[in-house]
Structure 1
Amino acid sequence: MASTPTEQPSSTSTFPSRQKPIPYSDENGKRTPLSSILPPLIFGTATFNHQFNSDPFALDTVGLVTSALTHGIRAFDTSPYYGPSEELLGDALAAPFVRETFPRASYMILTKVGRVKGDEFDYSAQWVRQSVHRSLERLHTDYLDLVYCHDIEFVSAAEVLEAVTELRKLRDEGRIRYVGICGYPLDVLGDMAEMLLRETGEPIDCVQSYAHFNLQNQTLGGPRGIERFHKAGVDVTTNASCLGMGLLRREGVPIGGLGDWHPAPRELRTAVHEASNFCDSHSEKIEVIAIRWALETWISKGALCGSRGDPASGLPWKHESNSEVGGAKLGVNVIGVSHPNELDKTMLVWRSILDGLEGGEQTAVQAGRWYRAWEWSRNRKKAVQILAEGVEEILGEWFGYSWDSPAKGFVNQKKTEGKVVDAEPSSLLTPAASPESKPVEGGEGVEKGIPLR
């Protein structure tokens, strides 16, 4: 188990006592734009869940969160739907060393409301308020930086409007700061972003899309995705799951405590397996290519709805500002890891990607890194792009494929006053919900690669 981190040779500063707050103000009705402070790399904690790991309680979540913070990550994404994720993240952030070294204002917490179980959604104002207060308790905080309506494709537009309206009331009360929506079908996300602007006169702060900008599906980067969101006034669009919820792995989809829950059809899995063999033939793992390609490409492709928040440096105890990597908006990515070695590898990739940005040559030299780091990064980008194009050719008709969400015949089993009531199904599936959150007797964390959701 990891505990208090030690100073690493790559660090260029002394062991810090307290980290600086992320600048935020809300004065005279004007809030700091989310796009000026949201970090471009967010730690997603869906992996603290039975979907990806047999026993999430066996994971060293305190060590992972602490290491992420020391490497510069300043935002964490979670949800009540992710089994014990909120509690595990909250406990990690409340650890004595973290609490003393990283004050609450020095990082951002993103969570969600509305999805209760795999087949149960409640977007009522009452439940939204109750869910937010429960999240505040679980995460040991007085406020939440961003709250999404979770998987909006499962409910009606009227329900989304009710939930967003209540979240904005909570925002005005100081309980949350920004409001977003998230889900799988891009057309539904676009419809809802436009509806919210039209009905309320105020655009949604953030849209989170998952599994739609990776080696298998890049629709988020086009007119149905980020371009449409931008026209609807969306400030930030975050890209989650650059491994397609674990689909783009040599070992295949992750099998956790819930068994095989992944919605990808057999034919798509077979095509990905062939693409993985193609990467193997060039001495690369498909997940390595997938992670690098998505993170690096979305930095520029997602800049239209990106952020100037300070990026994680990828190095222990080394702060880096947006101005040090060119000063432009960067597309925002969400990563998810289960084990320290996965985090270390991801941060090395991220550092190399930053080295390839504008001013990367000077930044590397000033930081005492290899003077050719920029050149290496640019050449690596070209090699990854070539393999990405090869994967696209092999996927063929499955490139750009999106599975149904929700699945045909879905009915929302919404509970009302102790009774289960069939709500009108949405015409427009994410994985099944976690089982009851409880430790597994003698359970051990099972490494499942690097699922990004």
Structure 2
Amino acid sequence: MREHRLRTGVRLTELGFGAAQLGNLYRRTTDEEARDAVDTAWGAGIRYFDTAPHYGLGLSERRLGAALAGRPRDEYVLSTKVGRALVPTPDRAHLRDDDGFDVPARFRREWDFTRDGVLRSLEGSLGRLGTDRVDVVYLHDPDAHWAEAATSGIDALVELRDQGVVSAVGAGMNQSGMLARFVRETDVDVVMCAGRLTLVDGAALTDLLPAALDRGVSVVAAAVYSSGLLAGPRPRPGARYDYQQAPADVLDRVHRIADVAEPFGITVPELAARYPLRHPAVPSVVLGMRTAAHVTANTARMTRAVPEELWDQLDHLGLVPGVGSDQDGTQDGAPHD
């Protein structure tokens, strides 16, 4: 598994393990499935693991920490997020979480990007993960909290980085515009951009990616399957895009991409997984993984060589947002390498 280095020296594998599903995202996952998924990822050479308190009200962090326990700590990179404090709600423990995770509602999420909030959140994450450090910390979805996140929030993370408590700091969001502001206006090292650098959405190419190249900041791509639209060889009936019913023109575009790719023996999910890495500011793509089978499938997609001729045809037909690449479709020579 290839690795690329952030400007602070942290090395990320091209494929990152997204652990939201270990928090019972949308449906239950067993402890055994979670452990098998992490074990399979380790065997495949994946050494970047991403989680957050938000994922299952801490369940994802607990499961990931347990599965990684005993692994050499210097051999993997761990990232988590801050900004959503977990406040105990014992009176609601008999109910289920109402934010997409199938877990008891023992906590509620409370936005908090203050210095104390950031420090308390990270301390809680360390306890759940069972480790003395995480390598990368992101501000989590600060869309409606720019003023606080861009001052006290990021200042607290930079302080932790300067003290050597964490190795890299940034923000993770489902939009590119505010991430571009973080890159231009604050001292971030890396940002995680979900859903805005995909085969069907190149929004990050107009604001975030130019700013990242200019400042030497890395961009980790997430949600590259666009709510499942790009997760299969062809869109399924009722396919969703950006969390909504996929429009007819987008469905048609995906079918046209598949038409071009099939003669090369390449599938849409393989293109979707590899696409962000064509940009020189992108060191890693984080894919959600629930089971060992998911890990195996995602690893095969990420390690599939995509002929440059195929990218050229897709670019020429205007079917995918053009990002440019080197000869082998990867991004050697990027600022973080």
Q: 1:60 aligns with which of 33, 53, 56?
A: 33
CA contact (8 A) 1:34 1:235 kept: no
Residue matched to 1:246 = 228
Q: Distance in 1 between matches of 2:316 and 2:271?
A: 11
Residue matched to 1:44 = 18
Q: Distance in 2 between matches of 1:389 and 1:269?
A: 23
- Measured against aligned partners, the alpha-carbon deviations of 1:150-178 in whole angstroms (never above 9, x if no partner) come to 11212122333201111222334443221
Report how far residue 70 of structure 1 moved.
1.3
In structure 1, list runs of 5 or more residues that go unmatched: 1-21, 25-31, 197-202, 255-259, 307-330, 354-376, 394-398, 401-453
Residue matched to 2:179 = 189
Task: Call closer, same or farther: CA 1:178–1:112 in 2, change over 3 Å.
Answer: same
Residue matched to 1:289 = 267
Amino acid at match of 2:68: L
Instruction: Select the structure that is richer in strand.
Output: 2
Residue matched to 1:92 = 67
Amino acid at match of 1:77: D
Alignment of 1:162 onto 2:152: yes
Amino acid at match of 2:195: A
Report how far residue 88 of structure 1 moved.
1.2
Task: Call closer, same or farther: CA 1:142–1:343 in 2, change over 3 Å.
Answer: same
Task: Call closer, same or farther: CA 1:346–1:162 in 2, change over 3 Å.
Answer: same
Could you say which structure has the greater relative contact order, defined with CA pairs below 8 angstroms and 6 or more residues apart? 1
CA contact (8 A) 2:114 2:148 kept: no
Report how far residue 104 of structure 1 moved.
0.8
Report how far residue 299 of structure 1 moved.
2.2
CA contact (8 A) 1:289 1:387 kept: no
CA contact (8 A) 2:85 2:117 kept: no
CA contact (8 A) 2:38 2:67 kept: yes
Amino acid at match of 1:297: Y
Q: Secondary structure at the match of 2:30?
A: helix
Residue matched to 1:208 = 192
What aligned pairs does 1:339-354 form with structure 2 within 5 A after superposition? Answer: 339-353=291-305
Q: Secondary structure at the match of 1:141?
A: coil
Residue matched to 1:429 = none
- Measured against aligned partners, the alpha-carbon deviations of 1:363-385 in whole angstroms (never above 9, x if no partner) come to xxxxxxxxxxxxxx52xx54476
Task: Call closer, same or farther: CA 1:333–1:216 in 2, change over 3 Å.
Answer: same
Task: Call closer, same or farther: CA 1:108–1:36 in 2, change over 3 Å.
Answer: closer
Q: Secondary structure at the match of 1:244?
A: coil
Q: Distance in 2 between matches of 1:76 and 1:144?
A: 10
Report how far residue 234 of structure 1 moved.
4.3
Alignment of 1:138 onto 2:122: no
Q: Distance in 1 between matches of 2:277 and 2:40?
A: 23
Report how far residue 245 of structure 1 moved.
3.2
Residue matched to 1:78 = 51
Q: 2:213 aligns with which of 230, 235, 243?
A: 230
CA contact (8 A) 1:149 1:164 kept: yes
What aligned pairs does 1:118-133 form with structure 2 within 5 A after superposition? Answer: 120-133=110-123
Aligned residues: 291
Report how far residue 273 of structure 1 moved.
4.3
TM-score (norm 1): 0.57
Report how far residue 139 of structure 1 moved.
0.9
CA contact (8 A) 2:10 2:168 kept: no
Q: Secondary structure at the match of 2:270?
A: helix
Report how far residue 209 of structure 1 moved.
0.5
CA contact (8 A) 2:198 2:275 kept: no
CA contact (8 A) 1:110 1:145 kept: yes
Q: Secondary structure at the match of 1:76?
A: strand
Amino acid at match of 2:285: N
Q: Distance in 1 between matches of 2:31 and 2:132?
A: 28
Q: Distance in 2 between matches of 1:58 and 1:392?
A: 41
- Measured against aligned partners, the alpha-carbon deviations of 1:82-127 in whole angstroms (never above 9, x if no partner) come to 1121111111112xxxx1xx30110010110003486842111111
TM-score (norm 2): 0.74
Q: Secondary structure at the match of 1:34?
A: coil
